[in-house]
Structure formats: structure tokens, C-alpha cells
Structure 1
């Protein structure tokens, strides 16, 4: 499973009903705590540039983190859609502000935030930053292999180029290494399954990632460092699935109870939402989720 691939788990009807009730109470807390307006737009009638302009004109925040999180909150309840980046045979920048998977949601909100931080508010600059976030070499698109497919490599790349800071170590992270090879060993799940030359290129990238040093915070230790999270921190959830670094990502958001929740595009509920439970409880019962990596905007 790559950064763009997410596994859904079935739930019993009773569990779904209970979770939905908890979700509604959580969302009420979001509305009360952050004063999100109920005004919405019919996104199907707007193009991406119009959506960008409306979101930017209505957003506010004293810092890059605040502004980006407010942008993210403004997309609450937008639909989830997987594999939106794999729609074309030729790799090119795809912008879709109407529906998201977990990674396109995070990237789109950060790119909008960066136009604010740089005082470069325009749709062209948004696309520039989105491309920088999504591709190696500061946004140089040269085929499918130029896209950053793994969260750990995305974090490493943008820690090096100055867009993000990997704050996992200073939050108490411990050394973590893993043999990353999910894409190359599950190549039939990806859009170029018959292209063995491309598969070999992806395998070389995976070998490079596997040789890098990372840290992570085990999920049993998150409670101890919960007070260190800032609103808008980017959270990647690590996994014990063979060959994969993370299985999900989203933004840290602190609600009225002072606990940290995850604002994310959920494949289970098919929409952008806030978890019905704090991050610690959200992860506790998922046996494949092992911990977190945390990035912060610079």
C-alpha cells in the first residue's frame, strides 16, 4: 500500500450507529469551538479556481498553521474519492478541490496555506505549491516515478527543501526503520501493472527510502506527548503492513475538551471529517496502526 492506498475495514451495524452518533456530537464541538459557518457552496457548479478563491477569501488565521487548519475545516463533509491522481496515462498535475483522498486533502490544504504565508494568493501559485508538494525536485514532473508516493519520503523530501519540519524526534520519537516495498511487490494494484521498467524505477526509490533513518511515536506513547501537538500538525499513521510506511494521514485538531483529534478524508465514512474519538482512542483498537510521524509547517 502506497501513500495513496488505504485499506477499509467493515464494521457491524451497531458499531456504525454508535460511531455516527459520536461523530455528530464531535462535529457539534467543532462548530462551537471554531465558529465554522454553515454556509456552503455547490462545488459541482464551481471550477477549482473558483473554489480556491472562495476558500481563500473566507479563511483567516494568525499563523500559517491556523490558516491551513481553517482551510481544512472549510472542506468538512466534502466527498472522499480514491485514486484521483491516476486518471491519466501521462503524469501531470491534477487539481481536484471537490473530492479527496487522505493525501490529496492534506496536500491541497497545505498548498493553499503556503500561498497565504508567501503572500502570493493566486490559483497559479496554489498549483505551483501543490506541484512542489507532490513531486520530487521542487515539483519537476517527469513521469509516474517523479511523484512522491510514500509519506515518509514526502516528509523527508520536504524537511530537506524547507517546506516542513519533521517534529517527531523532538516530540519523543524513537528510531524506526522498515523495508519499504509495497508498491513494487503489489504492482498489479497500480495503474501501470504491465510496465516492468517503471516497476524497477519504483523499486529503486523504495530501496532509497528503506536506507533512510526515521523516527516514530508508538501509539502507546501518544498520550504522554498529547500536550505537544499544535493545531494543524500533519500526522502520518504508521502501520505494520508489510512493505508500507503509513496507512493514513490528516491534521491534528484540538477541540473543546482539549484533546487532539484527526481532521482527515475518511475512506470509511466517505467524507472529510473529524474523528469521533481523540487520536489516541481512534488508533487504539486498530491492530495495523502502530504509531505516528508528525510534520509541522515552516
Structure 2
């Protein structure tokens, strides 16, 4: 039985802030097409669902800062332009929605909001999970992913994660907003109390045997104050090697890497390894 989205046509209007949502009619149409293109969802495991959905986004344009549309932080549902984080958020939200018996627009929207915001509650700009290490920890508490980096042989990331707090002027919603700035500092202080593990580059090749399609990967960095610089979804090919399905800023679209992840990382000077979360 093929899945279908039961969209409410009255919700389809060009660009809206009603109900604090921003999307275009084409966004819901594209989602409907993605679901219709999938095989019987009951025959797919979660990881296979993630891969199938992820591939439907191939060639989707890479667009930066798609969430920075308004100071009051509406829920942005954009299927026509994605950055690396919104790509995997949409894939994960759609995959979890596809596990339900009844699939509809509201379920997808609710799941996307839960994934994107701290404790699943959208309450302004600072409630968004800006640091991906916090994104992983928060979504692990929600029961949506599991951080498996330590199990793979990860080691502690000994650094302060405070890039937003120390680069306030780079963020319009922090630059002139003291309340937001103080909340970001508080979030950074909370993150500092939690251990963060990463798998060094030289351990990734050996760990490939324990990685699987659908795993979420974040690229750890040596840039001061930052935890990661990029995210994506792992794809394990028949040769046993791991590749990266991601929204590429370099190629300006969603692509599947042509070289194994280990080789891809060698071209990134600031990369020190990876952090891996497994959808559950």
C-alpha cells in the first residue's frame, strides 16, 4: 500500500505567518510527491526509510539561513532550499512521520518542530537548537536519536562551545537583543556541563563496520568556539564503505559524495573527526 499525505487545501497559500508558520504551496506539494514516491512504508526499516526519503532531496538547492526569516521565530517549512541541518531535520521528521499509520501534513509539521527546538517547544530564536551537539543531546532525550560516538571509540572534545556568545555581532537576533544574548550564554553554560565525544579521523575507517545507512553524522572542528561545521546522513554502499548524503555548500545542492567519508574529510583542514547519532 502506497502512503499518501492528506493535505488540508485551505492551508495552502503563498507565504504566511499565520499560526507562526512560513511555507509556500509548493512545499506541501513536494512533500506529498516524496511520500507518493516511496515503496510500501510497512516494508521499510527506519534506516531504509531515511535513505529513501533522503534521496528524494537530491539536487535540491543549497540555501543558507533559510530559518532567519523573522525575529519572532516562525516555524519555517522549506522544501525548495535547504542547508545541511534543515536537510536532515526534514528527512528525519518525514521518516518518523512515515512510521505512523496515518500520515498527514500536521504530523510532519509537529515532528519537525519537535526536532528543531529545545524540549520540542518553539519559544523564540534562542529556543532553536543552534549548536548541533545540543541538537543531538536534546533529540536523544526526546527518544528520536541515540549518540553512538562513544560506542564507536570516541574521545572527549576538550573545548568550550561558545562561538555565538563570543561572536555576538555575527547574529542579527543577538547583536541588538540583550535578552536573547543572555539566553544564548545560558545555553552555552549548560552545554559546557555535558560531555561531548567525537571520533577522531584516524579511527573512522576502522569504525565503518559499525556504522550504518541512516546514521546522522556531524563534522567536528578545531575552530575555536564551534562544535561542528557540517552535518549529513551516512550511506553504506555494498562495498562496505560509508558515504555522505548532504546539502553541500560547495556544490550548492543536496548530493551523495562520490568518495568515502574518510577521504571526503581529508579535504577539510579544520576537521578533527565526526560525531554520530543513530535515529531510533
> What TM-score bracket applies, with the shorter chain setting the length?
0.7 to 0.9
Match of 1:261 among 239, 243, 252: 243
Normalising by structure 2, report the TM-score: 0.87
| C-alpha contact (below 8 Å) 1:111/1:129 kept by paired residues | yes
Q: 1:89 Cα deviation (Å)?
A: 1.9
Partner in structure 2 of residue 18 of structure 1: none
| Counterpart check, 1:197 vs 2:179 | yes
Of stretches 124-133 and 210-219 in structure 1, the one that deviates more from structure 2 is: 210-219
For 1:196 and 1:262, the matched residues in 2 are separated by 38
Higher relative contact order (CA 8 A, sep 6+): 1
Residues paired across the two proteins, number: 253
Match of 2:79 among 72, 76, 97: 97
For 2:178 and 2:114, the matched residues in 1 are separated by 27
Partner in structure 1 of residue 142 of structure 2: 161
Alignment of 1:1-298 (within 5 A): 47-60=26-39, 62-138=44-120, 140-192=121-173, 193-298=175-280
| C-alpha contact (below 8 Å) 1:86/1:191 kept by paired residues | no
Q: Secondary structure at the match of 2:67?
A: helix
Q: 1:46 Cα deviation (Å)?
A: 5.6
For 1:59 and 1:67, the matched residues in 2 are separated by 8
For 1:118 and 1:168, the matched residues in 2 are separated by 28
Q: Secondary structure at the match of 1:69?
A: helix
Normalising by structure 1, report the TM-score: 0.82
For 1:144 and 1:255, the matched residues in 2 are separated by 39
Structure 2 unaligned blocks of 5 or more: 1-23
| C-alpha contact (below 8 Å) 1:175/1:213 kept by paired residues | yes
Displaced runs of 4 or more, over 3 A: none
| C-alpha contact (below 8 Å) 2:119/2:142 kept by paired residues | no
For 1:59 and 1:88, the matched residues in 2 are separated by 34
Partner in structure 2 of residue 7 of structure 1: none
| C-alpha contact (below 8 Å) 1:167/1:296 kept by paired residues | yes
